[in-house]
Amino acid sequence: MATTSFLYHTLGLRGYQHLRTDYRGGAVYHHVELRFDRRTCRGCGARCDELTLEGRFERTFRALPVGSRRQFVVLHGHEQLCQRCGSKLREPIAFAVGKRRHIKVFERFVVDLCRIAPIKHVAMLLGVSWTLVKEIFKGHLRRRLRTRSLKSIRLIAIDEFSIRKGHQYMTVVLDLESGEILHSDEGRSADSVIPFLRRLRAVRAPLEAVAMDMWPAYLLAVRDVFPEVEIVHDPYHVVSMANTAVDTTRRDMYRDLRGPERNVLKGSRFLLLRGGERLDDDALLHLERLESLNKPLFQAYLLKEDLRRFWSMPSRKAARKFLGAWIARCLATRIKPMVSLAKSLRSHRRGLLAYFDFPISTGPLEGINNKIKVLKRQAYGFRDLDYFKLRLAFLHEATPAFPG
Ligand SMILES: [Zn+2]
């Protein structure tokens, strides 16, 4: 029958007989019934010839809309007594999952739409609730994530980003080869990352190196689970530490100054933090005045600029030599923020030099940070943290940044 095959091809109703179609309140209702020869027992799987009809039930399922018209499937179901296992059960329903009130094809359609439009708009278009659309999409992401293997993970980066202003953080772990966020969790303690590292260990992932800043909790976590793996303190964070040290130096000095020196320092923040190669003539002139007026600050600036050469050293050996000399020079300045920077780099020397065996960094995570910011601004943000984490796990996919 034409309509039976239409329902099969458009709604995926295999083995169902079309009974009739109603049009009520602007919606379309297709009444269907499972064909006799397709009947099975939900308890033991016995075939139709071992089943007897014991009663009827009716359930309505949402199907794909036809344009702006809603469409439903009304199942005329049977309660069956099984001769083989003796149970009296409703027939199994092939086109819907569990207690869900929509057919599978509808779910697939929702997922497709969620890839190109905000949840809010998908919900409006389909005339269903925001929650239903979100739950369907969430389930889809969760199923996909379950199939993701950690078996070949070699290089990762760990970093945190702030969830809200103040001190609420989330930890993220990035696969540096695929660009996928492998793990995310609230907080930035060792516990935010240890369970994930244990999973890596459990699947015998060939982990070789981890890029991170010098946050002690992450260091401890990696040392605890993967003692043999190399930790790489990446350029990005170290340069930013050096910038902070120069800026603190400037502020300390500014506080104690009067007169013209103070004025020269006042407008210097920007040029001190900017890379020397990116300064224009005016800025260079300013820098010159700074040099003659305030030696220590200029010294700090030069050290910061010089440190960036570390990562372009031709070999690990050259880098070690350079770092040792740099630390000594820095300590000799006796400028407080610079001295503490030098001490910190000294105690993390191994992780700094590891860069020459594994030139990796958390840089790619910084790029992802912008995407996370967009995700955060979206209405669902943190109301459903599980959903947020799932979205993070698929952030690498070229999904348009849609709100809602
Ligand atoms: Zn049975």
Give tens-digit pLDDT for 23-73. 999 999 999 999 999 999 999 999 999 999 999 999 999 999 988 899 999
87 CA from centroid of ligand 1 (Å): 6
11 CA from centroid of ligand 1 (Å): 28
96 CA from centroid of ligand 1 (Å): 21
User: pTM, whole model, 2 decimals?
Assistant: 0.80
pLDDT above 80 for 274: no
HEC profile of the chain: CHHHHHHHHHHCCCCEEEEEEEEECCEEEEEEEECHHHCECCCCCCEHHHEEEEEEEEEEEECCCECCECEEEEEEEEEEEECCCCCEEECCCCCCCCCCCECHHHHHHHHHHHCCCCHHHHHHHHCCCHHHHHHHHHHHHHHHHHCCCCCCCCEEEEEEEEEECCCEEEEEEEECCCCCEEEEEECCCHHHCHHHHHHHHHCCCCCCEEEECCCHHHHHHHHHHCCCCEEEECHHHHHHHHHHHHHHHHHHHHHHCCHHHHHHHHCCHHHHHCCHHHCCHHHHHHHHHHHHHCHHHHHHHHHHHHHHHHHHCCCHHHHHHHHHHHHHHHHHHCCHHHHHHHHHHHHCHHHHHHHHCCCCCCHHHHHHHHHHHHHHHCCCCCCCHHHHHHHHHCCCCCCCCCCC
Give tens-digit pLDDT for 328-349. 999 999 899 999 999 999 999 9
Q: What percent of the chain has pLDDT over 70?
A: 96
Averaged confidence pLDDT in the chain: 89
52 CA from centroid of ligand 1 (Å): 11
Give tens-digit pLDDT for 288-333. 777 777 788 888 988 998 999 999 999 999 999 999 999 999 999 9
79 CA from centroid of ligand 1 (Å): 12
